[in-house]
Amino acid sequence: MHYAPPIDDWSAPFHAALERGELLYPACTACRHALPYGARCCPTCGGTAIAWRRSGGLARLCARVVYRRSFAAAFPAPYAVAQVQLSEGPRLPVRCPLELAANTGDTVRLDVRDGAVIAMPLTDGDTHAAA
């Protein structure tokens, strides 16, 4: 089942990119500071113009949780959610396998499948450049 989040003018480019299999993050056009998802202005310079940049797809695993009870039909239990920090800086909640072979603090690869971002363990083919 595909979950369709509310999409507005601000978030439309992010969701359109997910449908193409790409992960974008917002950045300030004035000072290039990477912004958290949903930010309407830059905490560094106060600028309100943002540009969407393509993420390299690597992130640090900050936390994860397995839900054993369903709270929405689109998310049948059990399912897992992770909080990750993109190597570019912003944090993002993402899906992950129930048995993710990674620990908090590890670098994970972010795949985009069916419009969702999924944290996966690194493979030998991945770059280990994420912070």
Least Å from the CB of residue 49 to Zn ion: 9
88-108: buried (b, 16+ CB within 10 Å) or exposed (e) per residue? bebebebbbeeebebeeeebb
Q: Which stretch binds Zn ion (CB under 5 A): 40-48, 63-71, 109-117, 121-129?
A: 40-48
Of these, 12, 31, 63, 131, which contacts Zn ion (CB under 5 A)?
31
Q: What is the DSSP letter of 75?
A: B
**Cβ–Cβ under 8 Å, residues 113 and 128:** no
**Cβ–Cβ under 8 Å, residues 92 and 65:** no
- Of the candidates 47, 60, 65, 48, which has an alpha carbon nearest to the alpha carbon of residue 91? 60
Of these, 13, 16, 22, 33, which contacts Zn ion (CB under 5 A)?
33
Q: Which stretch binds Zn ion (CB under 5 A): 9-17, 29-37, 57-65, 96-104?
A: 29-37
Q: What residue type is 107 in one-letter code?
A: T
- Of the candidates 60, 34, 35, 32, which has an alpha carbon nearest to the alpha carbon of residue 129? 60
Report 87-106 residues binding Zn ion (CB under 5 A).
none
Q: Interface with Zn ion includes 44 (CB under 5 A)?
A: yes
Q: Interface with Zn ion includes 39 (CB under 5 A)?
A: no
The residue (of 37 and 75) whose beta carbon lies closer to Zn ion is 37
Of these, 17, 28, 117, 119, which contacts Zn ion (CB under 5 A)?
28
User: Which residues lie near Zn ion (CB under 5 A)?
Assistant: 28, 30-31, 33, 42, 44-45, 47
